Amino acid sequence: MAKARKSRGESMLVRYLVLGGWAAVCLLPILWFLSIGFRPRTEVITPQPIYWPTFSLDAWHLLMSDWPIAQYLRNSVIAVAGSVVIDLVLAIPAAYALARYEFKGREDIGFYILSTRMMAPAIVAVPIFFLFKTLGLLDSVWALMLIYAAINLSLVTWIIRSYMLDIPKELEDAARTDGAGDLTILREIIVPACLPGIITAAVIAAIFAINEFLFTLLIASTSNAYTMSVALANFTGGSDGIIYNAIALVSFIAFVPILILVILIQKHLSRGLTMGAVKG
Amino acid sequence: MRTDAPSVSANGVATATPKPAPRRRSPALRKAFPYLLLAPALVYLLVITLYPGIFAIYQSLFVVKFLNWEWAGLGNYSSILQDREFWAALGNTALIGAISLSLQTGIALAIAYFAYRDPFIRGWRIVYLMPMLFMPSAVAFIWKLAFNDGRVISDLLGRLGLIEGNMDWLGSIPLARMTLIVADVWQWTPFLFIIFVAALQGQDQEIEEAARLDGASWPSIFWNISLPMMRPVIVVAITLRGIDITTMFTNVFVMTQGTPGGATETMSYFIYRQGFRMFNFGYASAASVLMLVLTVIIAQTVVKRAFHSGKK
Amino acid sequence: MASIHLQNIEKRYGGFVGVQNMSLEIADEEFLVLLGPSGCGKTTTMRMIAGLELPTGGKIVIGGEEMTEIDARDRDVAMVFQGYALYPNMSIYENIRFPLRMRGVPASEHDARIRQAADMVELGGFLDRKPGALSGGQRQRAALARAVVRQPQVFLMDEPLSNLDAKLRQSMRVQIKHMQRQLKVTTVYVTHDQIEAMTLADRIVIMNKGAIQQVGTPDQIYSDPANTFVAGFIGSPPMNLIEGTAQNGTFVAPGVTAPCPEYVRGKVTLGVRPEDCHVGGDNVQGMVYGVEPTGDTTYLTVLAGTKKIEVKAAREYRSDIDVPVAIHFDPAHLYFFGEDGQRIRGAA
């Protein structure tokens, strides 16, 4: 008995060492980076790192005066929100077809949609660049919207499909005998019943869209289309080098809403991230 | 039952629903319906994948100098296959990806094993999630500052007495690669952790309880029961993560730009550099086509299988 | 209100036959129960009547109109499902209203009809709730109200009570039967529970392996089974089926002898219900295998040769196991089945 208790105590110690250790690995860089955001520029790059900096809103003032941060934010929001709307409009009917109908080629079409997620952005970067150049869409938020929608369409389709598969078939049978047609069933029964899945898909798509870097880098060349993600990389004040405190501050401004969204869908996160393959 | 109930049926006849004439719906439409539902999404994806694919194949047959396209046949391909930088990029991608993915899997499994039956799991999960929720470009800057510009890592290691003075992290091939791996592991271990924890929490508790009554210890339950049961989940998670790692671009762009001497150049960065720094668009397209072929092979084999087993 | 005619309907899934060559006439206002083990094709049959599945052969006529190829939404048929199939995002009120909206009933009539239907199933106080906030029995009644509200030509009920506990099942059974008599709507009811079938049905259709085994009133099914399947399926515990040989008016099996009509000859199966077996007499010489008192009666299992025979004994009957026991059959209630399992009937 005593021995059992002792080994239990030891394993608790090991457990909290591991869990606490990794928590520190996660948090310390974040806290340190947060401190970068609120220190004067002179204390960012120094011969000896400064761990207890002077508090300063330098970065904030710099952002407000020198950089059109509101414009970047607006570009991000328009491009991301628009792309999510496009994705949902396209993905919901597609997911319904994949989840509920028997038809020739269903497996192959489903897999094709999935496989577009596997494509490296770099592979299509050159052609997409030329495509948007031809269309006169370079340096435009609309181009970013279309690209983000394309990147996330497979993910959104598969997540929603997975949730639709969970809806009992009886529900549709009932609606059919009640006199509803296919589209009515989709709109009135299926979509409300898989709303958690749709929200999860939308949140995850939004996060990936906010994070997108390569295409945005190629398509956006001025503050017309710069989003938060790429604007960061341009906080280099010429001879001043990289303006880290502004970067840190902006990344936290983007981090907070994402954190809130993710906490809201926490229960569904693992299922969303695996495109429905893992039920959390 | 109510006493006035019989009037319901009498009343019912009077107000009965007007009977709709039975409609015969077109069987052709019924057959086409799922395709119609899929069509918008498919067209969109085809435009955004098939068109670039064809364009890339076409462009890869030319030497492109700004607006001037000069026919080169398979010339781009033959020079790429002899290009040491191309092979180096392929090798770097594989090496950095493999090390990073193994580390992430190991760490995620270890912390998932300890976390999933901890009473504070909800708190741990939010903390562990955080790195993943920063924009990748911001994460790249965090580590660029920590390793290089801010010298924080050197300083901390120095205080621990592990090294002396400042390390030049970009000066050595293994160290430069390591900085990329650290940034990737830090940001993306949460992805695997979240999935593994969900799988562990989702498993049938009775099996675990039965094993404990049979006298099994937690490590042996994990090793002999939980791990085999969550194998399909692990396969799907690693496949997804693995595919993302092979497209690594942002960290390279921000942190190393391929230095030293191309030792940290990934495939994505190679294509970007050829196309948008050196404006060898034909050459970049040829590299894209080769990478596309690789992707299709991987997708057809690994991914298809992973998602099939994941569904079961 | 309509009659239903099924003419040679058939459902194949690739090589598998779900329902084969089935013909059935269901009269107007009749309560018909499809009874059989799972996988016997009863649910498929019902789904074909509903239009949720189309037959691969044959014809379906409802209320005099051919409906074989018509979609479910265009048939005037209401269905109640095993899992209730209430729309989770809608309140009970909206659930009951859904068929009215879908079928273009004028909005001015909705409220009165919804309340009437809800009162009928005693659910008037729950109209604002979501299905998730109701108990199983309440959900089932909400599903009934949704079927009732549009006054369809036909009710279809697919094992509607199988998710309820035994007590609730009994009271819901009475309620369903009462409602059907009151509304006089032709009803097809699928179940695997023989008690439900016996208590609810005007006529029972017993199905097995995609084919009808027997059609009849509950009394006919019970007292005049057409074959060993029906005999063994109905009754609790079911009829004893003893394989043996018959010649010269005597049936013989290990440990069993019984009189039989002259025309019963060769290898046959004797069927006798437990309640027609009595302790004492000379038809069975066996050993007591087990005794199960249930309160109002006692079931005795007798081992004759290798065959176990169920006997409904007197309430106070008790015995140790492995004790010799003799059983007497009521000679008026013996059934004989041929090698093909069909009942052997007299020359008449």
All residues at 6 or more sequence positions from A108 whose CB lies less than 8 Å from its CB, including other chains:
none
Whether the CB-CB separation of A71 and A139 falls below 8 Å is answered with: no
Residues of A in contact with C90 (CB under 8 A): 192
pLDDT band of residue A2 (cuts 50, 70, 90) is very low
Give residue for tokens 């300083």: B155
C interface mutation test: which of B3, B7, B8 has the most C CBs within 10 A? B8
The CATH code of the domain that includes C304 is 2.40.50.140
Q: How far apart are CA A143 and CA B296, in angstroms?
A: 26
- Nearest chain C residue to B16 by CA distance is C151
Whether the CB-CB separation of C189 and B14 falls below 8 Å is answered with: no
The CATH code of the domain that includes C147 is 3.40.50.300
Among A168, A177, A195, beta carbon nearest to C83 = A168
How many residue pairs bridge chain A and chain C with CB atoms within 8 Å of each other?
70
Q: Does residue C44 lie in a domain region?
A: yes
Residues of A in contact with C151 (CB under 8 A): none
Q: Does residue C314 lie in a domain region?
A: yes
Residues of chain A with pLDDT > 90, as a percent, come to: 52
Are C137 and C249 part of one and the same domain?
no
**pLDDT tens-place string over residues C188-227:** 999 999 999 999 999 999 999 999 999 999 999 999 999 9
Query: Can you tell me the mean pLDDT for C139-161?
Result: 93
Within 10 Å of residue B218's Cβ, how many Cβ atoms?
A: 17
What residue segments make up the domains of chain B, in order of their start? Answer: 85-311
- Nearest chain B residue to A109 by CA distance is B42
Arch. (CATH architecture) of B85-311: Orthogonal Bundle (1.10)
Contact check, Cβ <8 Å, C72/A173: yes
Contact check, Cβ <8 Å, A178/C102: yes
- Nearest chain C residue to B12 by CA distance is C151
Give residue for tokens 């729309």: C87
Report DSSP letters for A22-70, one per residue: HHHHHHHHHHHHHHHHTS-GGGTS-SS--SSPPP--HHHHHHHHHS-HH
Portion 202-261 of C in contact with B at CB < 8 A: none
- Nearest chain B residue to C117 by CA distance is B8
Q: Does residue C18 lie in a domain region?
A: yes
With a cut of 60, say whether residue C135 has pLDDT above it.
yes
Q: Does residue C346 lie in a domain region?
A: no
Structure tokens at B190: 């949460």
Are C219 and C250 part of one and the same domain?
no
**pLDDT tens-place string over residues C253-305:** 999 999 999 999 999 999 999 999 999 988 999 999 999 999 889 999 999 98
Structure tokens at C32: 């018909």
Q: Does residue C345 lie in a domain region?
A: no
Q: Does residue C71 lie in a domain region?
A: yes
Q: Range with the lowest mean pLDDT among A83-87, A178-182, B15-19, C136-140?
A: B15-19
Are C161 and C56 part of one and the same domain?
yes
ipTM at complex level = 0.90
A206 to chain C, closest Cα gap in Å: 25
With b for 16 or more beta-carbon neighbours within 10 A and e for fewer, the A128-165 pattern comes to bbbbbeeeebbbbbebbbbbbbbbbbbbbbbbbbbbbb
Residues of A in contact with C88 (CB under 8 A): 171, 192-193
C interface mutation test: which of A163, A171, A172, A177 has the most C CBs within 10 A? A177
Within 10 Å of residue B10's Cβ, how many Cβ atoms?
A: 8
Boundary residue ending a domain (C178, C206, C228): C228
Are C119 and C202 part of one and the same domain?
yes
C52 to chain A, closest Cα gap in Å: 7
For residue B24, the model assigns a pLDDT of 66
**Does C237 sit behind a cis peptide bond, omega within 30 degrees of 0 on the bond before it?**
yes
Among A48, A124, A233, beta carbon nearest to B49 = A124
Contact check, Cβ <8 Å, C88/A193: yes
- How high does pLDDT run on average in chain B? 86
Are C222 and C80 part of one and the same domain?
yes
Residues of C in contact with B12 (CB under 8 A): 151, 183
Q: Which domain holds residue C299?
A: 238-337
Tell whether C64 is within 8 A of chain B (Cβ): no
Whether the CB-CB separation of C235 and C273 falls below 8 Å is answered with: yes
Residue C245 pairs in a beta bridge with C252, C267
Whether the CB-CB separation of C87 and C94 falls below 8 Å is answered with: yes
- Nearest chain C residue to A173 by CA distance is C52
Residue A2 amino acid letter: A
With a cut of 90, say whether residue B98 has pLDDT above it.
yes
Are C99 and C193 part of one and the same domain?
yes
- How high does pLDDT run on average in chain A? 88
Boundary residue ending a domain (C182, C199, C228): C228
Report DSSP letters for B82-126, one per residue: T-HHHHHHHHHHHHHHHHHHHHHHHHHHHHHHHHTT-TTHHHHHH
Are C221 and C291 part of one and the same domain?
no
Are C87 and C191 part of one and the same domain?
yes
Higher-confidence position of B296 and C114: C114
* Phi-psi category of residue C295: left, alpha or beta, with phi > 0 → left and psi -120 to 50 → alpha: left
Contact check, Cβ <8 Å, B2/C119: yes
For residue B48, the model assigns a pLDDT of 84
Nearest to C34 by CA among C159, C146, C129, C173: C159
**pLDDT tens-place string over residues B39-50:** 999 999 998 888
For residue B4, the model assigns a pLDDT of 39
C191 to chain A, closest Cα gap in Å: 17
All residues at 6 or more sequence positions from C38 whose CB lies less than 8 Å from its CB, including other chains:
C192
Tell whether C128 is within 8 A of chain A (Cβ): no
For residue A149, the model assigns a pLDDT of 96
Helix, strand, coil percent content, chain C, rounded in steps of 5: 30, 35, 35
Q: Range with the lowest mean pLDDT among A129-143, B8-22, C52-66, C324-338?
A: B8-22
Q: How far apart are CA B122 and CA A191, in angstroms?
A: 29
Torsions phi, psi of B212, nearest 5?
-65, -40
A252 to chain B, closest Cα gap in Å: 8
Residues of chain B with pLDDT > 90, as a percent, come to: 50
Q: Which helix (H) or strand (E) holds C268?
A: strand C266-272
- Nearest chain A residue to B291 by CA distance is A123
A interface mutation test: which of B109, B145, B278 has the most A CBs within 10 A? B145
Domain count across chain C? 2
Are C133 and C18 part of one and the same domain?
yes
Counted residue by residue, chain A has a size of 280
Residues of C in contact with B9 (CB under 8 A): 182-184
For residue B183, the model assigns a pLDDT of 96
Contact check, Cβ <8 Å, B138/A251: yes
How many residue pairs bridge chain A and chain B with CB atoms within 8 Å of each other?
284
Q: Does residue C343 lie in a domain region?
A: no
Are C193 and C221 part of one and the same domain?
yes
pLDDT band of residue B268 (cuts 50, 70, 90) is very high
- Binding partners of C (≥3 Cβ pairs within 8 A): A, B
**pLDDT tens-place string over residues A206-252:** 999 988 999 998 898 888 888 888 888 777 655 567 889 889 998 99
Give residue for tokens 């309440």: C138
Counted residue by residue, chain B has a size of 312
Q: Does residue C342 lie in a domain region?
A: no
Nearest to A121 by CA among A211, A223, A231: A211
**Does B260 sit behind a cis peptide bond, omega within 30 degrees of 0 on the bond before it?**
yes
Residue C78 pairs in a beta bridge with C155
